[in-house]
């Protein structure tokens, strides 16, 4: 593997917005996270977050459309992640309105501090 390929595999440059009470409600938190040659950003515990993020398979993939989800409400929390991950553009919304969304949220909840 080339050095550039290795850097891309372990790289992220993310902008994370978290609404603990739902989008449009007060209390929004905004973070950044840089993983790769250096770890940086404003996300608390960013080194641990980078390590965890690189271990997750397809962390920003949407819920498949052909999946039945339990109708369990997990709370009003919402998040938006934009940027680059492993060389690919990311724009992913997260919520907790059903079982599939809760599972997806929990997979990377370490990116959403202050969400309750």
**pLDDT at residue 3 greater than cutoff 80:** no
* CB-CB contact of 95 with 75 (8 Å): no
pLDDT value, residue 4: 39
Count the Cβ atoms, other than its own, within 10 Å of residue 30. 11
Dihedral angle sign, alpha carbons of residues 16, 21, 25, 28: negative
Which residues partner with 13 through β-bridges? Answer: 34, 84
pLDDT value, residue 10: 65
**29-35 vs 40-41, strand pairing mode:** antiparallel
pLDDT value, residue 114: 84
**pLDDT at residue 2 greater than cutoff 60:** no
For 22-65, how does the pLDDT look when each residue is reduced to its tens digit (9 = 90+)?
999 999 999 999 999 999 999 999 999 999 999 999 999 999 88
pLDDT value, residue 64: 85
**pTM reported for the whole predicted model:** 0.89
């Amino acid at each position: 593997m080339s050095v550039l390929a290795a850097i891309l595999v372990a790289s992220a440059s993310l902008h994370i917005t978290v609404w603990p009470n739902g989008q449009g409600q007060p209390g929004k938190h905004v973070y950044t996270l840089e993983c790769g040659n250096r770890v940086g950003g404003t996300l608390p515990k960013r080194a641990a977050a980078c390590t965890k993020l690189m271990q997750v398979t397809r962390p920003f993939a949407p819920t498949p459309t052909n999946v039945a989800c339990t109708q369990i409400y997990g709370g009003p929390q919402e998040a938006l992640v934009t940027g680059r991950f492993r060389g690919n553009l990311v724009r992913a919304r997260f919520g907790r309105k059903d079982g599939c969304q809760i599972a997806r949220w929990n997979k990377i909840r370490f990116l959403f501090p202050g969400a309750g």
